[in-house]
């Protein structure tokens, strides 16, 4: 390779590394205490649902797909109506939706409070209301879409606990809402798994999964639970 080309390539690599560090800095993982108030694991409970919004749903989905006890994590939209729950419309920021992830989990293996801890710690920056990393607008807002009064109570007490402990340099901005969830288009599902080398994913989403493994090793699962199973090879 000519010296000039080699120098140019090195400069590009250095620039990309710097960009990655800068972009991910806004969503750096934070080690936070577990919630003091939580639901209890039950040996007889049916699968439960949690819905979280924290910026682009690709990264949030990827995080929870790697959490032990999560049975399914689907990217989609919450906070608006069914009529305009479409990516090209939600992206305008005026439909009322947030890009969200619908999580089905086994409460005998993981609690709602533990999911909240992961959401606040590694999935996004809860001190930013309508922006995450390079994305901004109400469609990227930090929101917990509660399913019932118990979830609301756990979330409210946990936010108060973290604010009182000054776990972050700013107050938590996450809102609590109740809304219907609509699954996103098929091409948005399992996005990190299907596009691991896409620049946006490499810079903004893959670090979140690595943070999950580092901070929550006890619930980290190496193989993600996928919305669309990998195609089987012929003859297998």
Enzyme catalytic residues: 56
Q: What is the Cα–Cα distance from 67 to 187, expressed in whole angstroms?
A: 22
Q: Using an 8 Å Cβ cutoff, are 139 and 93 in contact? A: yes
DSSP state of 67: B
Q: What is the Cα–Cα distance from 79 to 100, expressed in whole angstroms?
A: 9
- List the one residue out of 150, 160, 145, 163 whose CA is nearest residue 111: 150
Give one word for 137, left, alpha or beta, with left for phi > 0 and alpha for psi -120 to 50. left
DSSP calls for 86-110: SHHHHTTT-SS-EEEEEEEE-TTT-
- List the one residue out of 103, 97, 30, 99 whose CA is nearest residue 65: 103
Q: Using an 8 Å Cβ cutoff, are 121 and 167 in contact? A: no
The two tokens of residue 64 are 């929870």
């Amino acid at each position: 390779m000519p010296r000039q080309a080699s120098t140019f390539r090195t400069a590009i690599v250095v620039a990309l590394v710097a960009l990655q560090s800068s972009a991910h800095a806004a969503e750096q993982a934070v080690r936070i205490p577990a919630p003091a108030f939580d639901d209890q694991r039950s040996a007889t409970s049916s699968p439960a649902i949690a819905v979280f919004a924290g910026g682009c749903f690709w990264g949030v989905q990827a995080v929870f797909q790697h959490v032990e006890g999560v049975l399914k994590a689907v990217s989609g939209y919450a906070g608006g109506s069914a009529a305009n729950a479409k990516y090209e419309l939600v992206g305008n920021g005026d439909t009322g939706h947030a890009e969200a992830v619908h999580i089905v989990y086994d409460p005998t293996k993981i609690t709602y409070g533990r999911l909240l801890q992961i959401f606040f710690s590694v999935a996004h920056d809860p001190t930013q209301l309508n922006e995450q990393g390079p994305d901004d607008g109400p469609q990227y807002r930090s929101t917990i879409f509660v399913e019932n009064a118990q979830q609301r109570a756990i979330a409210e007490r946990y936010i108060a606990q973290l604010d009182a402990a000054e776990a972050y340099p700013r107050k938590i901005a996450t809102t609590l809402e109740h809304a219907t969830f609509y699954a996103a288009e098929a091409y948005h599902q399992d996005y990190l798994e299907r596009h691991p080398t896409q620049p946006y994913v490499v810079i903004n989403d893959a670090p979140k999964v690595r943070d999950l493994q580092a901070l929550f090793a006890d619930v980290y699962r190496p193989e993600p639970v996928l919305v669309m199973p990998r195609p089987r090879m012929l003859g297998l």
